[in-house]
Structure 1
């Protein structure tokens, strides 16, 4: 009898200690920031500023794909098989990559999403995953199709140092030569006008509906993405 009581007491103490270690270290809700906007809207530039200011990690679908493919994970192999055929990677594969990434310790206080969610089903899956009390802010950078075309199709990349000029907004001092290192400037295949138009079509069909989705949820913040990058960040900063 005494032995049974001793065992129960040990179990009770162990359970109590285990339960206490499972409690979160702080009671502040996680903040999830979602960057929306067409290709060429400056999401990458603002993502770097947000990450520096807030200290939360930046998660993009492109990085998730590259990381999983380079590590030859099972998910990376699945994604690569679709990409090699020119097909879109299915939502379930993207979601599995996302859930795996945000389970890491650096995401406990929040994270910045760029390129995810890309579809309504992905947004709905994200909502189900997030715990009650999580603060969600969706920041939409609005840029006209004409400006997107000029920003992307006007890119000139240095073949040596990868520095990027733009023939419309930041042309090189010497035509065809990089201001930074003097290397030869080239236009990438995926920056060609016809490719940019197709990327815009995909965005307008798949991702633009997310703007209405988050507007209905009352978490959408719209910012003019055609302003100077410093002014854009100044308007983003209050939501961090």
Structure 2
């Protein structure tokens, strides 16, 4: 299978992407992970991308296209692509790559939540700067307030997790995704998943769809 998965901040798309990857033996390609990896290196490009993230702005298309397409060239087919494309220019770059390599998409899945839920989920997130463990002030608090359970280091809030930035990111997502969703609807491969509720609830909405698609691919 080849899947695109979208969702506003806090929709759980990355959590479900990893579960899909494990269950169906797919390659997980996350534009966000690649961007954060570059930022962690402290390169000039990474610092520039970090500035965009901190203010809730989108990173320039040429940079994101280069990161994602170079990764897809290493792992052709049977992938789930998380959070890409996000602009018309990125759609064009991806569609050209898929066409050139004879690759088709099986489904474009959007996990949608409200803006209020997005802010609630993201603004409460806290991260250990040492080991990367993720917590939430409401849904997964550490045993000792403000301290990582694993290594005891003080937890931090990412700059792009602040409520005002999350609101901006949500609005930007909705605005930019509207024409992209319309494009994939015309292709007949777009599906919207209700992302409200717990992880298990949402997963039970996702799995039947993917089981069906997977069964169709196996019998081809």
TM-score normalised according to structure 1 size: 0.70
Map 1:151-166 → 2, pairs under 5 A: 151-158=121-128, 161-166=131-136
Residues 174 and 91 of structure 1: CA distance in aligned 2, closer, same or farther (over 3 Å) = closer
Aligned position for 1:27: none
Aligned position for 1:129: 97
Query: How far has the Cα of 1:152 moved from its partner?
Result: 0.6
Query: How far has the Cα of 1:189 moved from its partner?
Result: 2.7
Count of matched residue positions in the alignment of Structure 1 and Structure 2: 204
Q: Is the 8 A contact 1:150 1:168 kept in 2?
A: no
- Structure number, greater radius of gyration: 1
Aligned position for 2:76: 108
In 2, Cα distance between equivalents of 1:149 and 1:56:
30
In 1, Cα distance between equivalents of 2:182 and 2:79:
22
Secondary structure at 2:9 match in 1: coil
In 1, Cα distance between equivalents of 2:46 and 2:41:
12
User: Which of 112, 121, 144 is equivalent to 2:114?
Assistant: 144
Q: Point out where structure 1 has 5 or more consecutive residues left out of the alignment.
A: 1-30
Query: How far has the Cα of 1:108 moved from its partner?
Result: 3.1
Residues 58 and 81 of structure 1: CA distance in aligned 2, closer, same or farther (over 3 Å) = same
Query: How far has the Cα of 1:44 moved from its partner?
Result: 1.1
- RMSD across aligned C-alpha pairs, in angstroms? 3.1
Secondary structure at 2:84 match in 1: coil
After superposition, give the CA deviation of every residue in 1:64-91 in whole Å (9 maximum; x if it has no partner). Answer: 335667889xxx87x5485366475432
Q: Point out where structure 2 has 5 or more consecutive residues left out of the alignment.
A: 215-220
Secondary structure at 1:95 match in 2: helix
In 2, Cα distance between equivalents of 1:81 and 1:69:
6
Query: How far has the Cα of 1:153 moved from its partner?
Result: 0.7
TM-score normalised according to structure 2 size: 0.76
